[in-house]
Amino acid sequence: MVEIRFHGRGGQGTVIASKILADAVSKEDKYVQAFPQFGVERRGAPVFAFIRIDDKPIYIRSKIIAPDHIIVVDPSLIDAIDVTEGLKKGAFILINTGHQPQEFQHLGKDFRVFTIDANDIAIKHRLGSTAAPIVNTAILGAVPRIFNFVKLASILQSVRENVPVNPDENAAAAQEAYESVKGV
């Protein structure tokens, strides 16, 4: 079983990202469970989302305390909270940023960092506004590049099926993100 925690801010589509990833994984006949931090969300406040992926039915339904990997949708959170809390040794950390993975060595030597400039990609594909780009579909494109539990084709299909508008632009952003992950 693989357990991943997403870190974002309310309004960025972090929970939706976890849902679209769950949808993509389930297309590959795997078992999946995705859920937000249970409670009340406020725009701009730190939010969490979680996903469990397995080859067999998933019965455990408690919160994920010690994730295998994390995905940081909003890099400003790295200075605000401990995003590596409970994170297992050998974890991958995917960060949405224009910076290089080496710049995040302070997160710990037990982890491997990958970066993707999802803001830049989202703006290029006109997703959201320049001030508040919609980055979640671009980030999802980076996921199959570093993890082997889901294929890019499934991500692209799930992105197209699940976004309310601009399916082509969102899929193109995911495709571009797949090709531009740093640290691989």
Partner 1 sequence: MKKVMMGNHAISYGATLSRVQVIAAYPITPQTQVVELLSEIVADQKLKAEFIKVESEHSAMAACIGASSAGARAFTATSAQGLALMHELLHWAAGARLPIVMANINRAMAPPWTIWSDQNDSLSQRDTGWMQFYCQSNQEVLDSVIIAYKVAEKVLMPVMIILDAFSLSHTYESVDIPDQALVDKYLPPFDYKYKLDVQNPHTYGGLTTPEWYMEFRIKMHEAMDQALVEIKKEAVAFKKVFGRYYDTVDPYMVDDAETVLVTSGTAASTARYAVDQLRAKGNKVGNLRMRVLRPFPFADVREQLKNAKKVIIVDRDISYGYHGIWAQEVKSALYGHSQVPVWNFIAGLGGRDIFPETFYDIIAQVGKKKKPDQELYWVEVKK
The footprint of partner 1 (CB under 8 A) covers 18-19, 22-23, 26, 31-36, 38-40, 58-63, 65
Torsions phi, psi of 73, nearest 5?
-75, -35
Shortest separation between residue 42's beta carbon and partner 1, angstroms: 14
d(CA 171, CA 157) in angstroms, rounded, equals 8
Shortest separation between residue 73's beta carbon and partner 1, angstroms: 17
d(CA 123, CA 118) in angstroms, rounded, equals 8
d(CA 170, CA 117) in angstroms, rounded, equals 15
Q: Which is nearer to partner 1, 86 or 98 (CB)?
A: 86
Q: Which is nearer to partner 1, 124 or 160 (CB)?
A: 160
Q: Which is nearer to partner 1, 18 or 119 (CB)?
A: 18
d(CA 137, CA 95) in angstroms, rounded, equals 14
| The amino acid at 147 | F
Shortest separation between residue 148's beta carbon and partner 1, angstroms: 20
Q: Which is nearer to partner 1, 43 or 106 (CB)?
A: 43
d(CA 161, CA 166) in angstroms, rounded, equals 10
Q: Which is nearer to partner 1, 119 or 154 (CB)?
A: 154
Residue 28, classed as helix, strand or coil, is coil
Shortest separation between residue 59's beta carbon and partner 1, angstroms: 4
Shortest separation between residue 49's beta carbon and partner 1, angstroms: 10
- C-alpha distances out from residue 126 to 121, 134, 145, Å: 9, 9, 23
d(CA 164, CA 9) in angstroms, rounded, equals 20
